[in-house]
Amino acid sequence: MIPKRAQILFYVIVILLTLLSCQKRNSPNKKEAYNKAKADKLIAVADTLFDNNKFDSAFYYYNEAIFVCSPIKDAENYISTLNRMAIIQQTHGDFAGSEATITKALPYAKYVKNKLHTWNLYVTLSVNYLDTYDYKSAILYNEKALQLDTKNWRKLAAKNNIGVALIQEKKYYEALTIFLPLETKDEIVKDKDIYGSLLDNIGFCYFKIDAPKKGLEYMNRALEVRQDAQNPFGLGKSYMHLAEFYQQRDLSLSKKYILLSYKEYSKINYIDGRLSALKMIINNSNNNELKEYSNLYIALSDSIDEVRQKAKNQFAKIKYDSKREKEENLKLKAHKAENELDLERQKNRNIISYIIVILSLCLILILYYYLTSKANRDKIEAAYNSETRISKKLHDELANDIYHTMAFAENKNLSLLENKEQLLNSLDTIYSRTRDIARENCTISTDGNYVLSIKEMISGFNTPNINLLINGLDTISWHEIDKAKKTAIYRAIQELLVNMKKHSEASLVAIIFKETNKDITINYTDNGKGIDVTKMVLKNGLHNIENRILAIKGKINIESDLGKGFKVFIKFPL
């Protein structure tokens, strides 16, 4: 009957939860559920466009993904997407827009498990501040990146970035303390681009602190590494520094290097590098050459300003249009949902009220029947177990003795004094055993007389041949222990003593009670004949003892060996 009632209750709960969930889904005040699949799809499209240098389209899809992404549930996608958007704006010279984009990600860095995303976030911010001449902030975010638990090469890269910022602050000695330890790192040496940049920066610092010989040595080594790597950006940097080095020493050689720098930067259309190179060429030119390079500088400067302004406007427009479209869609959806909900709300309220009333009644009835049935089952089971145990004791301990006594009375001449005394002794033995069984199954006092009850029970096993010692019984806070535990301990000790009297042939028994802060321990020891623990099978009394102790969440350990007595350790929580 119980499973059927539980099944009905389950169906009622399912109906209630379904109605509630429908109401929540239709509510205009609730946010739409996060659609991770949609966010992943938008990001995948944007990543492909980004890798193909189609930055305007990539920015559009990244921006769409931001409106779908959950900054808490999917913090990694949210932060990496904003980081890519900031890099695109940074690449197009929109440093203010880049900073505004990337700082949106900062509050959600704490939700990211993969610290690579946080490292990228800090590095992008540091580059942004470096390009806008805020060197202290650039150093700060590189130091934050350095503190993250990431791969070693990323830590080295962050250190290198700090050194670059220090160069911009003209703190060349401090920069050298950063750069020089990196020169021998395997991760740096193996990466030609990073290694070439490091050597060039070290050489530039030595040049600036009036150590030209050392500076030129490092700059030439950097040039060799970069020529081997064939990286136009790196070569442009090396040629630029060499040009600056020779500007006061060998003007023709300086001009040669600056023209090479301009050529390398032109290969990758790096506008800022080209402008810096042109500025130095103009300073070292005259007549027609001066006019030619000046016009080129002005045209290039004007064109890049125009391109960057258009990019800024374009990215701002993408953000604005996307935000406005989302807001309009949300308003329309909310208005439509509100109209639909007005028709359903009252109906749902009535249905839910009825279901709650029915559910409460069903729950009360089922709980009542369940508890009543459980109590009845427990009583029946306890009575059955008790009857079975008593029946077994009567059969094992009394039936045979009674049968033999009856046979003796039938076959012997009871007029003889000797036979009469033997019969009386047999009857006395049967009476004693009957009394023991009655005592084992009598009601146990678990109130203030509990200690006295245990003492009386234990003293019943004290005979001229058995000496019983009890220690610590009166020191236990029995009033703090519940009735079930007291009953279990009483019966366990009783079972041990019965087992001792029947099997062990002990002459000395010690029972020691001890209380700690959280537990009660009982040590039982006798000097009986003992048993072989390796061959021991817990039956009858020992099995009952184990079950009683485990039922009160206690532990029991039995130690014995043939001829070495019998020991039992019991421990249970207060």
Query: Could you tell me the residue ranges of all domains in the chain?
Result: 392-442, 445-573
pLDDT for res 206: 93
Please answer whether residues 524 and 560 qualify as being in contact, where contact means their C-beta atoms are separated by less than 8 angstroms. no
- Residue 193 phi/psi, 5° resolution? -65, -50
Strand partners, 555: 571
- Four-residue CA torsion sign, 497, 500, 502, 508: negative
Angle at 393 between CA 521 and CA 563, to 5 degrees: 55
Residue of 119, 182, 107, 112 whose CA lies nearest to 149: 119
Residues 6+ apart with CB under 8 A from 542: 495, 499, 536, 558
Cβ neighbour number for residue 338 with a 10 Å cutoff:
13
State the CB neighbour count (10 A cutoff) for residue 414: 12
pLDDT at residue 91 in the model: 72
Structure token pair of residue 223? 């040039």
- List residues bridging with 469 in a β-sheet: 510
Sequence-distant (≥ 6) Cβ neighbours of residue 352 within 8 angstroms: 16, 19, 20
In angstroms, the CA 117 to CA 112 distance is 7
Give, for 525, the enclosing helix (H) or strand (E): strand 519-526
How many of the other CB atoms lie within 10 Å of CB of 389?
A: 15
pLDDT at site 69: 83
521 beta partners: 514, 571
Give the total residue count for the chain: 574
Rounded Cα distance, 272 and 300, in Å? 10
DSSP-assigned beta bridge partners for residue 463: 466
Q: E strands, 447-518, where?
A: 467-471, 508-515
Candidates 296, 291, 305; CA nearest to 277 is 296
Question: What tens-digit pLDDT sequence spans the chain (574 residues)?
Answer: 445 555 555 665 665 566 555 554 444 444 445 678 888 888 888 889 888 878 778 888 888 888 888 888 888 888 888 888 888 887 777 777 888 888 888 888 888 888 888 888 888 888 888 888 888 998 998 888 888 888 888 888 888 889 889 988 999 999 999 889 988 888 888 888 888 999 999 999 999 998 999 999 999 999 999 999 888 888 998 998 998 899 888 888 988 888 898 888 888 777 777 877 788 888 777 776 667 777 777 776 766 655 556 655 666 666 666 556 555 555 555 555 666 676 777 777 778 888 888 888 888 988 888 888 776 776 566 555 666 766 676 666 677 778 778 877 878 787 788 888 888 887 877 776 676 666 566 667 778 888 888 988 888 888 888 899 999 999 998 888 888 899 899 989 988 988 888 888 899 999 999 998 889 999 999 999 888 777 665 555 677 788 889 989 999 999 988 888 999 999 999 8
Element (H, E) at 267: helix 251-267
Dihedral of CA 574/543/382/491: which sign?
A: negative
Backbone torsions φ then ψ of 194, nearest 5 degrees: -70, -40
Per the confidence metrics, is the pTM higher than 0.85? no
Confidence at residue 26, expressed as pLDDT on a 0 to 100 scale: 47
CATH superfamily of 445-573: Histidine kinase-like ATPase, C-terminal domain (3.30.565.10)
**Are 42 and 61 spatial neighbours (Cβ–Cβ below 8 Å)?**
yes
CA–CA dist 391, 385 (Å, integer): 10
Distances (CA, A) of 523 to 257, 453, 544: 94, 19, 18
Taking the mean position of all CA atoms in its chain, how far away is CA 421? 80
* pLDDT of 1: 45
Eight-class DSSP state of 113: S
Question: How many alpha carbons lie under 13 Å from residue 262 in its C-beta half-sphere?
Answer: 19
Say if CB 164 and CB 170 are below 8 A apart. Answer: no
